[in-house]
Each structure stands twice: as structure tokens, then as C-alpha cells.
RNA sequence: GGCGCAUUCGUCUAGGGGCCUAGGACGCCGCCCUCUCACGGCGGUAACACGGGUUCGAAUCCCGUAUGCGCCUCCA
């Protein structure tokens, strides 16, 4: 029997990073087995439905490269079949009417159990299973009825979902049995916690895929990180390109304990992916990202600056604060510039005569200038960096100067060394 | 409260009776490289929740306790 899994979010908001990980595990499992990955929207609670969320969910999955098979399904579209099934159960005495709603008759004795692919054997005493509502009085099915029914109809072989569904599972198993439907395998993946040890929520900084995207994370890095949250291949391998992940992923290596989301590790991994990009790709993706976020620098300069920042930043979103000086005027802190006027004036003079105006030539001449002035390289270069880039942190100084161009560089040096700059120039 | 699940460095994890004086990664600290920041290199800090068993031997098996999380909705 071919593997068939589904990701079944409710359209109650954006795709949360914990949900994405569940989707990822489903997708990896399906692709690894050459099976199918379906997307089903569980919208039986119309009241909580959030507009645009279905589009957003699809956009987030697509961005991450989690492609689904077939059309997106909507639970409510199968309303008739749900009602039919409920009526049949009532007819067989397995369910009964209760003030307009239909309830399922759960067994009172014995236990219901299954071998969870991730958590092992789980057993529930039947006396704890209440008679769940199948159909609300308005005729709409509830989640615990619609979900297993749809799974059966879609021939889902493995239900891979968050472990907050563990206690629903025995109920769904009983319903499926009453329906005479085959049981899928269940794999309950632990939830993702925020840094405060609580379930990840909006309190924890970025949690939606869109936010990570906006901050300049690469989808492949996020995927790699998410895969490592609760799953591991061995005791040392951490870098998994997408295809490799698909090849080696197995459910039995998913851990049973909840994991805490670690932003700094994600950032580290993102930096690794960013640095590994071929320079052309890097420039291209950097520019595409900046455009998306509304940054208005010209493409030529962005592309030229790309190699200067590739080794330096871990998120594309750091670009503006790091290389923004190439696109807009700077305002260096006069206090930090105090006493630097002489060096800056000398540098200005030197740079006025550098020819050709290349990083290599600029470096050579500024170094000899430092020597002449008997200054250590950093003593000479730091004020220049400040004057030219407006910050004590910047890409390589000489490359930056070359890119900025001679005129602008000289102007900035003048401005920083000119009268009125140092408060106590007299 | 009931039921369920979980519990190895701060975090993600390796580990499935002797290979563990517990390995890797992120973070953190120090040193080196160095025009700043990063990268890179080297070194360091740091964990088997607790208590009982089982066994010649337990991080690994069993029981209990504690703690955390989840569910207990005509939510999903």
C-alpha cells in the first residue's frame, strides 16, 4: 500500500512554526517513501475561520518547498458524507441523538490502545472516553468525527500530527472501528516550545513562517533547522540539503520529548547556508529579498556589495544596517571622531590621488600612509571607517571605499574632519 | 482534579546493559588570525530530575516521586 499522509491545519491564522514542522515531517516521510502528501483544511468551525489564512498557509508551505499532491481539500466540502455516516451509525445503534446533536457511544469497559510510531504503545482506559459529539445540532461534523472519516476516505496510511492529539486518538480509533474503516498508523510528534518552556506562541518573537522570511532566513536553512528540532540522523551530521533530508528521514528517529526553539542556532545555520551560496546566487537572492522588503537601493550597487557582506551577515535582513552607507548619507558620532581630524585629512589627500581607485590600490596607499604617520593599522583605519561608513562595524574598509566611489568618500572624509565636527576643535 | 505523554550540558541532540571518567552542534568564555564585524583555527565551561529496585554491571530495564507539557469544548 503506497504511503499517503496529509497535513491538516485549521484556517484559524497564519502557519505557526510548530505546525510547519509537523507539515515538514509529513512531507519528508511521504517523499522519502515515494508516497503522497495531501493538504486538507479542517474548517468545520467556521466561526474561528480567519480570512486569508488558507492563502497564507499555502504561501508558507510553497516558500519552504513543501509541495502537496492534488488539490487542496476542505473538510466542509464533505458535509453530506459526514452526515450520512453519522446517520448510519445511529441506525446501527452505535450513536444516538442528544438534544439535536449526535453522539457516539463509546465503550465503557476495557482499553483502547495503539502502537504509536514515535511514542510506542499507548493505552487508554475506555471508561475515560466520553460519548463525543459527531454532529453538532446544526448538522456540521466535529473535528473528532470529520478528521478520521476524511482520513479513511483519503486512504491515509500514516497520521503524523502534533502530540496534542494523543488523547483524541482512542476516540477516533473507536469511531473508525465502528465505521468498519481500516486504522492508519499514528505518529505523534512532540510540540515545539518557546524559550520560556511554554508552547510556542506569539509571545516568542518570530513564529510565523512569513516572519522568518521577512527577517532574511533562507527556506532551505529553516527547513534544515526545523528537521533537526526533534529529529536527528546520527550523533554529528547537522547539514542536510533538501534532497539529502528526504533520502535519510525516518520517523523512528523522531524524539518523543518536546523541543525548545532556539533562534540563535537557526541564525547560525542560516549563516552557514548563506555563506555556502555561489556568489551569483547570493547576489540574486539578496536583491530579491531586499526588493520584497521594500529596500530601495539600486540593483547594481546591491549586487556589487553582495560579496562584501556574504561572509559577514547571518540573515539577509542585516544588510541594510551593515551596508546601508552605500545607499544613503551617514552621520558618524562626533564623540567617536574626536581627535581624528588630522588622520582623516591625510586620508582624504591620499585617496584623492589613488589611481586606479581599486580596493587593492586603496589598501596599499592607506597602509603606507599609516606607516608614515606611525599609526597602527587599526588606529588609522578605524576613524576612516567611521567617517566613511558612519559605523565602527562595516564590510572590508578598502572594498567599501572602492564601492562608495572617490567623490563620495572624499566628501565624507571632509565632512568628518572639517571645522565644526569636533566639538573642541579650537 | 482525571487521563496521557515526557524528563541527558542553558538549548538541539547522540546514546537502546559493559565501547560513557557520557560524544557532536548552537550559545557562552579564553587564545590565535585580523582594518572593525564576521568567518576560520585552537582550547575551555557545562548534563544522565530524584528515590528505590533488577543485574556481576544502568544514562540505558522496572516501580514510585517530582516537575513540565497536552487533552478533558456541539475548538481543531
Distance CA A305, CA A302 (A): 5
**What local confidence, expressed as pLDDT, does residue A200 receive?**
75
**What local confidence, expressed as pLDDT, does residue A414 receive?**
96
Query: Can A312 be counted among the known catalytic residues?
Result: no
- Cβ proximity of A403 and A324 under 8 Å: no
**Exposed / middle / buried, residue A277 (Cβ in 10 Å: 0-12, 13-18, 19+):** middle
- Enumerate the nucleotides of strand B whose atoms come under 7 Å of any protein CB: 2-8, 10-16, 23-27, 34-40, 68-76
Between the alpha carbon of residue A9 and those of residues A58, A100, A187, the distances in Å are 11, 28, 16
Rg (CA), chain A: 30
Distance CA A203, CA A217 (A): 20
Cβ of residue A137 near strand B, that is under 7 Å? yes
- What stretches of A375-422 show up as alpha helix (H) in DSSP? 377-389, 397-404, 406-417
For A200-208, the CB contacts below 8 A with 24+ separation are A200/A16, A200/A17, A200/A18, A200/A261, A204/A261, A205/A263, A206/A17, A206/A263, A207/A16, A207/A17, A207/A18, A208/A14, A208/A15, A208/A16, A208/A17, A208/A60
Chain A residues 84-103, Cβ below 7 A from strand B: 98-101
Distance CA A253, CA A256 (A): 9
Q: CA–C1' distance A234–B18 (Å)?
A: 22
**Which residue in A131, A139, A136 sits closest to A175, CA to CA?**
A131
Cell of residue A274, nine digits: 548563506
**What local confidence, expressed as pLDDT, does residue A421 receive?**
44
Chain A residues 318-377, Cβ below 7 A from strand B: 363, 377
**What local confidence, expressed as pLDDT, does residue A189 receive?**
95
- Residue A127: which nucleotide is closest by CA–C1'? B3
DSSP string, A242-279: HHHHHHH--GGGB-SS-EE--HHHHHHHHHHHHHHS-H
Chain A residues 146-205, Cβ below 7 A from strand B: 147, 163-168, 190-191, 193, 197-199
3-class state of residue A195 by DSSP: coil
- Kindly report, residue by residue over A359-400, the tens digit of the pLDDT: 999 999 999 999 999 999 999 999 999 999 999 999 999 999
Kind of pairing between the strands at A95-98 and A101-104: antiparallel
**What local confidence, expressed as pLDDT, does residue A44 receive?**
85
- Cβ proximity of A176 and A148 under 8 Å: yes
Catalytic residue among A119, A171, A202, A265: A202
Cell of residue A384, nine digits: 576612516
Give me the residue label for grid cell 499522509.
A5
What is the phi-psi region of residue A137: left when phi exceeds 0, alpha when psi lies from -120 to 50, beta otherwise?
A: alpha
Q: CA–C1' distance A170–B60 (Å)?
A: 30
Per-residue pLDDT of chain A (426 residues; tens, 9 = 90+): 799 999 999 998 888 898 999 999 999 999 999 999 999 999 988 778 888 899 999 999 999 999 999 999 999 999 999 999 999 999 999 999 999 999 999 999 899 999 999 999 999 999 999 999 999 999 999 999 999 999 999 999 999 999 999 999 999 999 999 999 999 999 999 989 887 777 776 666 668 999 999 999 999 999 999 999 999 999 999 999 999 999 999 999 999 999 999 999 999 999 999 999 999 999 999 999 999 999 999 999 999 999 999 999 999 999 999 999 999 999 999 999 999 999 999 999 999 999 999 999 999 999 999 999 999 999 999 999 999 999 999 999 999 999 999 999 999 999 998 754 444 433
Q: CA–C1' distance A112–B4 (Å)?
A: 12
What is the phi-psi region of residue A70: left when phi exceeds 0, alpha when psi lies from -120 to 50, beta otherwise?
A: left
Cβ of residue A125 near strand B, that is under 7 Å? yes
- Residue A259: which nucleotide is closest by CA–C1'? B12
Q: CA–C1' distance A100–B2 (Å)?
A: 28
Cβ of residue A260 near strand B, that is under 7 Å? yes
The sign of the dihedral angle between the CA atoms of A276, A282, A286, A289 is negative
Q: Which pTM does this prediction carry? A: 0.94
Q: CA–C1' distance A387–B7 (Å)?
A: 54
Q: CA–C1' distance A176–B59 (Å)?
A: 40
Amino acid at each position: 500500500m503506497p504511503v499517503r499522509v496529509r497535513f491538516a491545519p485549521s484556517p484559524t491564522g497564519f502557519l505557526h512554526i510548530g505546525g510547519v514542522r509537523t507539515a515538514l515531517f509529513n512531507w519528508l516521510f511521504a517523499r522519502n517513501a515515494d508516497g503522497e502528501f495531501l493538504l486538507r483544511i479542517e474548517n468545520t468551525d467556521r466561526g474561528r475561520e480567519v480570512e486569508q489564512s488558507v492563502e497564507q498557509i499555502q504561501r508558507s508551505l510553497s516558500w519552504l518547498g513543501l509541495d502537496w499532491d492534488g488539490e487542496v481539500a476542505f473538510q466542509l466540502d464533505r458535509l453530506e458524507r459526514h452526515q450520512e455516516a453519522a446517520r448510519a451509525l445511529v441506525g446501527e445503534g452505535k450513536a444516538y441523538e442528544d438534544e439535536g446533536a449526535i453522539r457516539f457511544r463509546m465503550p465503557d469497559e476495557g482499553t483502547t490502545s495503539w502502537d504509536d510510531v514515535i511514542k510506542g504503545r499507548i493505552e487508554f482506559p475506555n471508561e475515560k472516553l466520553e460519548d463525543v459529539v459527531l454532529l453538532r445540532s446544526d448538522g456540521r461534523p466535529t473535528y473528532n468525527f470529520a478528521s478520521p472519516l476524511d482520513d479513511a476516505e483519503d486512504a491515509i496510511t500514516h497520521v503524523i500530527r502534533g502530540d496534542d492529539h494523543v488523547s483524541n486518538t482512542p476516540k477516533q480509533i473507536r469511531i473508525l472501528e465502528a465505521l468498519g474503516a481500516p486504522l492508519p498508523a499514528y505518529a505523534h510528534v512532540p510540540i515545539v516550545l518557546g524559550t520560556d518552556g511554554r508552547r510556542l506562541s506569539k509571545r516568542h518573537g518570530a513564529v510565523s513562517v512569513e516572519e522568518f522570511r521577512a527577517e532574511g532566513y533562507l527556506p532551505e536553512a529553516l527547513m534544515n533547522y526545523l528537521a533537526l528540532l526533534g529529529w536527528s540522523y546520527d550523533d554529528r551530521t547537522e547539514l542536510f540539503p533538501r534532497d539529502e533530508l528526504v533520502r535519510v528521514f525516518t520517523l523512528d528517529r523522531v524524539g518523543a520529548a518536546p523541543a525548545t526553539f532556539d533562534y540563535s542556532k537557526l541564525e547560525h545555520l542560516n549563516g552557514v547556508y548563506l555563506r555556502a551560496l555561489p556568489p551569483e546566487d547570493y547576489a540574486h537572492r539578496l536583491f530579491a529579498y531586499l526588493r520584497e522588503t521594500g529596500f530601495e537601493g539600486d540593483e547594481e550597487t546591491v549586487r556589487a556589495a553582495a560579496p562584501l557582506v556574504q561572509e559577514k551577515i547571518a540573515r539577509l535582513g542585516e544588510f541594510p544596517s551593515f551596508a546601508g552607507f552605500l545607499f544613503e548619507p551617514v552621520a558618524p558620532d562626533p564623540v567617536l571622531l574626536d581627535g581624528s581630524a588630522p588622520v582623516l585629512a591625510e586620508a582624504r589627500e591620499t585617496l584623492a590621488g589613488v589611481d586606479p581607485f581599486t580596493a587593492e590600490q586603496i589598501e596599499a596607499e592607506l597602509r603606507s600612509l599609516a606607516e608614515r604617520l606611525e599609526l597602527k593599522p587599526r588606529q588609522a583605519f578605524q576613524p576612516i571607517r567611521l567617517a566613511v561608513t558612519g559605523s565602527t562595524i562595516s564590510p572590508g574598509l578598502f572594498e567599501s571605499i572602492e564601492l562608495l566611489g572617490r567623490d563620495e568618500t572624499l566628501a565624507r572624509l571632509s565632512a568628518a574632519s572639517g571645522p565644526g565636527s569636533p566639538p573642541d576643535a579650537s
